[in-house]
Amino acid sequence: MDRALEFVGNHPFLFGILAVLAVLFFAIENKRSGRKISPNTLGMMVNSQNAQLIDIRAKKKFLTGYIQGSRNIPFIELKDRLEEIRAIQQPVVIICDMGVQAGAAIQMIGKDDVYRLEGGIGGWQAAGMPLVGLKDAKSKTKGKAKPSLHK
């Protein structure tokens, strides 16, 4: 630790360049992957600005549970529907599993008022927010026996 502090003291110019590069990296990376909004902010954005929610998960995952008011455009179909999304006048919020794939979707869309849900569906559920269709998926599996590892 002492040697690191000594290095910084002896080479302030190099340390300054490193700090500037780190700040630029994070600024560019954040802009490239889109602005994040928290699960709590999402509700306010839908109510006040009529934000449109687009869930880019596969249809099978979407049907197991989704945020009320969202529509499903799977990521693999996104390229074919870019003009449809770009034509939306209201802010758009992209939703995926963990918030990572939404960053790639935002790059493809290339529109200013497009956001991604921080943490995706996982972050939404971790914040205690409800999903639509989740009970339906659970009730369908209740009647079926689960396979057992014990004989």
Specify the DSSP element, H or E, that contains 115.
strand 114-117
Q: Is the pTM of this model over 0.95?
A: no
Whole-angstrom Cα distance, residue 13 to residue 8? 9
With cut-offs at 50, 70 and 90, classify the pLDDT of residue 147. very low
Smallest CA-to-CA distance from 37 within 111, 109, 92 is with 92
Provide the 8-state DSSP code for 148: -
Average pLDDT estimate for 58-66: 94
Instruction: Give pLDDT tens digits for 84-104.
Output: 999 999 999 999 998 778 988
The Cβ of residue 98 has, within 10 Å, a number of other Cβ atoms equal to 13
